[in-house]
Amino acid sequence: MKPIQCKMARVALGWGIRDLAKHADVSPDTIARLERGERLRDATIRDIQNAFEKAGLEFIPENGGGVGVRFSKPKEFDYPGS
């Protein structure tokens, strides 16, 4: 996860730094450090990314169009009677 993806994901969810920190169980300063581009432990970045993914986002890798974030595709459900 790139720093810009963290910011984009927060905006998509309407979360502030403190909201994300609470969901990821890290300090607000950790979120600020990530968004400034400072190096964090891989496990910490995974915790932050997992919080976003649990909230329904997925991260798009750089594939010629730049990195990004989007809402996950809704899972297919079998509805009774269908």
Q: Nearest to residue 44, comparing CAs of 62, 35, 63, 31?
A: 31
pLDDT digits (tens, 9 = 90+) for 25-48: 999 999 999 999 999 999 999 999
pLDDT digits (tens, 9 = 90+) for 1-32: 999 999 999 999 999 999 999 999 999 999 99
Distance separating alpha carbons of residues 43 and 40, to the nearest angstrom: 8
Please give the model's pTM, rounded to 2 decimal places.
0.84
Count of CB atoms situated within 10 Å of the CB of 70: 13
- What structural domains does the chain harbor? 3-71 (1.10.260.40)
Contact in structure between 71 and 57 (CB atoms under 8 Å): yes
**Contact partners, residue 2, CB within 8 Å, separation at least 6:** 67
Q: Average pLDDT for residues 45-71, to the nearest whole number?
A: 92
